[in-house]
Amino acid sequence: MDAIVLYPSPGMGHLISMVELGKLILTHHPSFIVIILITTPPFKVGSTASYLAAVSAINPSISFHQLPLISLDPASYDSVESLLSDLINLNNVHVDAALTKISLTSTVHSLIIDPFCYPALEIAAKLKIPAYYFFASNASCLALFLHIPSIYRNTTENFKDLNTLVHLPCLPPIPLNHLPEPTLIRNTIECDFLINSMAHLAKSAGTIINTFETLEPKAVKALSEGFSIPNGPSQTPPVFCVGPLIDTNNGRNRGNGDDDNKGAECLKWLDSQPSQSVVFLCFGSMGLFSKEQLMEIALGLERCGQRFLWVVRNPPSNNKKQGFTEGQDPALDTLLPEGFLDRTSDRGLVVKAWAPQVAVLSHGSVGGFVTHCGWNSVLESICAGVPMIAWPLYAEQKFNKIMLVEEMNLALPVNESENGLVSAEELEKRVRELMETEAGKSIRDHAMAKRDEAAAALSEGGPSVTALAQLIKCWTQK
């Protein structure tokens, strides 16, 4: 059988994007089978098992190969990145065994890996399997990341200490302190892990990106012509923009009864709201706020007078081990201002921990999205034509905010106070600006136009479908 093997790093966000890539491949080349290697992390990452079962039931040509568990103690690590670095390096022997076994019964045309899984490149080379990177974030971010090693070569300082801007032809000026936190201090495990993941890209056969050309024309052109790697185009493998890849079944494949109930509650409430009147606030599974910040958000929502749907999670734990696991549902009465839920019950709904984000954004009552700027969330908002308020929290999200606000005109920014909090006044101001002003209307109109472009990209003859056809040709002509 003709097989494509996908190897995501742990975490639902990475897994879902890879699954959607597998679905897209099968839509346009159904003779393939798709096998996804699953790393079992030493910490709880959500309802993975039920999600995998649901995907397999609906898509019989997609199967999952569970790699053996590697025992690591999360409490002994200072960061997720350092834990992932060890986990993925130790995983390599199991990836080797899995690919060797799969190759006995199938012709493996390609191994597609998350950038963090770059140690698998040597296995693919040994087995003579073409290996491709799958970059689940945007092309602009990839262009920036590829430039980071050259910045390091030209300075001995830590990025966090440099008050300078990165200038690339395809990007607006980027403050160095807006790069992902692991890159801000050099010569750490976390920094080396990220830098190495990008440095090894040149050893791949190509890079698949979850974006579409008309969303980021400058960055896509730069990557295609090799501008992003200072030593020249010969080091830039071909790029294939095949997005937007989003999980349109979000909220219906989790297999969790409590989540299903929350989803039904959200959608039923939205059914009773006027068109484009609701501001949706959701910050991803790792988007955790202090109690003080939750109080500010609540006050801002109460003062702005707009309808809202807000997903609230517990504040981050001081227990290092608990920081890697899912916590309990939040106790809203203790986290939010006294009487807040009663005072806003006629125009607001607060849900605990989770909501079916794609279904919510696609609902006609939703008119704005306050987001942490994770790329999956951004694409979901774009595909729904919903304008955003950009509130980045971690990873590459500060950079995404700059692109959304300054380059794509799809979001308004929120600005932190000197104490690191976003004040109630700032949130109120931005929500009113999005929902009530001409500036907000302009962003809304632009979001609607990008929604249409996203749909066109994945339609017959669209640029993403054409890029996928070119990619599949690379696999099948050899």
How is domain 2-243+458-476 classified at the architecture level of CATH? 3-Layer(aba) Sandwich (3.40)
151: number of CA atoms within 13 Å, CB side?
A: 25
Predicted confidence (pLDDT) per residue in 47-102, tens digit: 688 899 999 999 999 999 999 999 899 889 988 889 999 999 999 999 999 999 99
Give, in order, the Cα–Cα distances in Å from 190 to each of 31, 36, 74, 223, 437: 40, 26, 15, 25, 43
User: What are the domain boundaries of the chain?
Assistant: 2-243+458-476, 258-455
The verdict on domain 258-455 having CATH code 3.40.50.2000 is yes
Predicted confidence (pLDDT) per residue in 170-181, tens digit: 899 999 888 888
Provide the 8-state DSSP code for 407: I
Contact at 8 Å (CB) between 148 and 223? no
DSSP string, 239-281: EEE------TTTTTSS--HHHHHHHHHHHHHHHTSPTT-EEEE
* Per-residue confidence (pLDDT) for residue 294, from 0 to 100: 98
Q: State which amino acid sits at residue 192.
A: D
Q: Helix or strand or coil: residue 456? A: helix
User: Is the model's pLDDT at 33 over the cut of 70?
Assistant: yes
Contact at 8 Å (CB) between 4 and 109? yes
Q: Helix or strand or coil: residue 308? A: strand
Place of tokens 């012509």: 225
Side by side, the strands of the sheet bearing 131-135 are 62-66, 33-38, 2-7, 107-113, 131-135, 206-209, 239-241
Task: Give dist(CA 115, CA 135) in Å, integer.
Answer: 7
First to last CA, the chain: 15
Please, which pLDDT band fits residue 235 given cuts at 50, 70 and 90? low
Predicted confidence (pLDDT) per residue in 429-461, tens digit: 999 999 999 999 999 999 999 999 999 999 999
Q: What is the C-alpha R_g of the chain?
A: 22
User: Is the model's pLDDT at 229 over the cut of 80?
Assistant: no
Note whether 2-243+458-476 and 258-455 share their fold: yes
Predicted confidence (pLDDT) per residue in 246-276, tens digit: 998 764 455 456 677 878 999 999 999 999 9
DSSP string, 147-202: HHHHHHHT-SS-GGG---EE--TTS--EEGGGS-GGGSSSSSHHHHHHHHHHHGGG
- Tokens representing 231? 């030593």
Task: Give dist(CA 309, CA 318) in Å, integer.
Answer: 28
Give, in order, the Cα–Cα distances in Å from 301 to each of 44, 177, 428, 431, 477: 32, 30, 6, 8, 56
Provide the 8-state DSSP code for 105: H
Residue 5 φ/ψ, nearest 5 degrees: -110, 130
